[in-house]
């Protein structure tokens, strides 16, 4: 449940947060603030989902898939 709540954060950050950072200055890593805000949330999403993957019990069970498909 906590994991799902974590996953909601990027939705809030991007959809609801943007109106509050709709500015050019200050530039962050050379980018307008509003763009940098979105980039930040893209990176945070990856981190959050990595955490979710790591702690989700459903990923601990089950056989490891071994062979790669031959093509």
Partner 1 sequence: MSSALLIIAAVTLVALWLGVRARRGHDMNLEQWSVGGRSFGTAFVFLLMAGEIYTTFTFLGGSGFAYGKGAAAYYILSYGTLAYILSYWMLPPIWRYAKAHRLVSQPHFLASKYASPSLGVLVAIVDVVALVPYLVLQFKGLGIIVTTASYGAISPTAAIWIGAIVVTAYVTISGVRGSAWNSVMKDTMILAVVIFLGLYLPIHFYGGFSSMFHAIDSAKPGFLTFPAKGSSVTWFQSTVLLTALGFFMWPHTFGSIYTARDERIFRRNAAVLPLYQLILLFVFFVGFAATLKVPGLKGSNIDLSLFHLSLQTFDPWFIGVIGAAGVLTALVPGSMILNAAATLLANDVYRGGVARQAADSTVTQLARVLVPIIALVAVFFTLRGGETIVALLLMGYSFVTQLFPAIVTSLATRNWVTKQGAFAGIVAGVAVVAYTTLTHASIGQWFPSLPEKLKDLNIGLVALALNIVVLVVVSAVTQPRAAGHSHARTL
Q: Between residues 2 and 19, which has the closer beta carbon with respect to partner 1?
A: 19
Q: Between residues 2 and 29, which has the closer beta carbon with respect to partner 1?
A: 29
CB of 5 to partner 1, least distance (A): 12
Q: Partners of 31 in the beta sheet? A: 28
Q: CA geometry: angle at 63 spanning 60 and 68, to 5°? A: 120
Tokens representing 10?
């990027």
Q: CA geometry: angle at 50 spanning 63 and 53, to 5°? A: 35
Q: How many CA atoms lie within 13 A of 20 on its CB side?
A: 7
CB of 6 to partner 1, least distance (A): 10
Residues lying near partner 1 in the complex (CB under 8 A) are found at 4, 7, 10-11, 14-16, 18-19, 22-24, 27, 29-32, 34-35, 38-39, 41-43, 45-46, 48-50, 52-53, 56, 58-59, 62, 65, 67-69, 71
């Amino acid at each position: 449940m906590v994991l799902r709540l974590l996953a909601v954060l990027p939705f809030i950050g991007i959809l609801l947060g943007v109106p509050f950072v709709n500015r050019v200055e200050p530039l962050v890593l050379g980018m307008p603030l509003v763009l940098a805000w979105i980039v930040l949330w893209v990176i945070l999403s990856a981190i959050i989902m990595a955490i979710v993957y790591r702690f989700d019990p459903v990923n601990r069970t089950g056989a490891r898939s071994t062979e790669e498909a031959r093509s």
